[in-house]
Amino acid sequence: MSYQALKLRSAFSVAVLASACISMGYTSMASAQTLTTVMHSPLRVLDPVITTAYITRTHGYMIYDTLLSTDANAQIQPQMVDKWVVSDDGKIYTFTLRPGLKWHDGQPVKSEDCIASIKRWAERDKMGQILLELTADLKVVDDSTFQITMTQPTNLVLRTLAKTSGTAPFMMPKRIAETPSSKAITEHIGSGPFKWVAEEFKPGLKAVYAKNTDYVPRAEPASFTSGGKVVNVDRVVWSVMPDNMTAINALINGEIDYIESLPYDLLPMVEGNKGLNVGPIDKVGFQSMYRMNFLNPPFDNKLIRQAAMYAVGQESVMKALIGDPRFYRTCPALFGCGLPYESSYGQDMVVPSNIEKAKELLKQAGYDGTPVVILRPTDVISVSAPPVVIAEALRKAGFKVNQQDMDWQTAVTRRTVTEPPAQGGWSIFPTAWSLLDIQDPLRNTAVAANGKQAWFGWPDIPQIEELRQRFALASDEAELKSLAEQVQRVAMDEGVAVPLGQYNTVAAYRTNITQVPIEPIPFFWSMKKAGK
């Protein structure tokens, strides 16, 4: 199934998430040449390589560009690259950059910048890590040409460099890209359609982007992450409004232009308003899930992980998170329902709640009452409700539960801690993925199971890694489907990632905002703002 088949084809579309009080006070009226938006989360982490947080990924698309891109038909297209050539043996990829590319500081984009950026990104990204394992050489040919040589024939190079979300392979100047991938960059210079306005950044409160007047868009029409990124406004301001009612009133009054993610219970306030377009951002949607910590008790025990999976029912989570059945469905598929690698394996474990089965497994495992520390972010809609439902279900099954409330950015930091919960660690945290990021065993960061190199939770299951390697090298669709099904079975049995259902977000923007990209990622190029 193509991405085009999943796209929302309605009058509305949206592109922006989370917040809007500027130093606890918002601007009077948004300028005709300024888009003022409230995003789904405040922006604090600026390095798109060191986090999978979507707000940072969206920030990345504002100021950076990618070598390759993916269009609305799921086809790989050149972006910063002018052309590429593949050797007859399928191992050597030679890329030539578009002429005239410049960084925001005026310096030319060179091949050495791209090589350094690929290496840094690939060290952190799960798909990129497999690419590095299969790479024999990365080398500069000249200032505008570079080569990637693989150990064996594969099209993984193109699939990887065209990756759209999670951690996308954004290009940076060599001096910045040489920052160790374990350390956040401190300079934010790209070659993308917007420039970062560092002097106006207020972490967690305000982020500002200015039109890059030196940017030369591609000639092709914009299509998902590909084509010409034509900027029609002077500035985009991401403001933070922690209070949803304040944000909605500001939107209705014209003080802001766009809200990326509306609370479902407040939809009656905006639906039917003639000055607003309201509806789902896209039909691709999101998967809600939770992650268990494999390193420390109690979830270092497979039976106890399975007990938790049987205890929690998807319908209860979706009712608490979404409420309105128009916008959610239950789904056991790790790679998404309605997508090419959909699987029903494990649905008896994760779709209904089976408290008696959970109790039976806890008894069999000899559960000793070790507390389950659940991180509950309170300031992001998509992750605030599931922990409450999870905690209630686990208590019914016989778990001792310690739910700890915090903001999302604190949770993002806390989940990196490998120590036991008593020493600042954790047992469970919730998250949500765009289906773009989970649609196969390579893109789905949560199914990687290479121990300390895996995503937070750190499962160590060599069988999954072997299957993912085989998936990376396969090209036959029947083989790909078979491998994806095997990954689903092992990952579900082991409790590597636990799906909680699928849903669509709802956004709103004023009717004087036009040419809004209808995409699963909020993009701000092409958008126009008419006078009030």
Q: E strands along 1-91, which residues?
A: 34-38, 68-70, 76-78, 81-86
Q: What is the pLDDT of residue 532?
A: 53
Q: E strands along 66-164, which residues?
A: 68-70, 76-78, 81-86, 92-97, 135-142, 145-150
Q: Is residue 266 classed exposed, middle or buried when 0-12, 13-18 and 19+ CB atoms within 10 A define those classes? A: middle
Out of 3.40.47.10, 3.40.190.10, 3.10.450.50, 3.90.76.10, the CATH code matching 65-184 is 3.90.76.10
Q: What is the pLDDT of residue 16?
A: 32
Name the CA radius of gyration of the chain, rounded: 23
SS3 528: strand
Indicate whether this model's pTM tops 0.85.
no
Q: Quick one: CA torsion of 119, 121, 127, 133, rounded to 10 degrees?
A: 20
Out of 3.40.50.2300, 3.40.190.10, 3.40.140.80, 1.10.10.10, the CATH code matching 1-63+192-283+506-532 is 3.40.190.10
Query: 1-63+192-283+506-532 and 65-184 share one CATH topology?
Result: no
pLDDT in tens, 297-352: 999 999 999 999 999 999 999 999 999 999 999 999 999 999 999 999 999 999 99
Q: What is the pLDDT of residue 330?
A: 98
Contacts of 75 (CB under 8 A, 6+ apart): none
Q: Are 242 and 19 in contact (CB under 8 A)?
A: yes
CATH number of 286-503: 3.10.105.10
Q: Which residues of the chain have pLDDT under 70?
A: 1-32, 532
User: Could you tell me the residue ranges of all domains in the chain?
Assistant: 1-63+192-283+506-532, 65-184, 286-503
CA geometry: angle at 163 spanning 466 and 94, to 5°?
A: 90
455 vs 167: CA distance, rounded Å: 12
452 vs 385: CA distance, rounded Å: 29
Phi first, then psi, for residue 486 (nearest 5°) are: -65, -40
Strands 206-211 and 92-97: unpaired
Q: Are 95 and 161 in contact (CB under 8 A)?
A: no
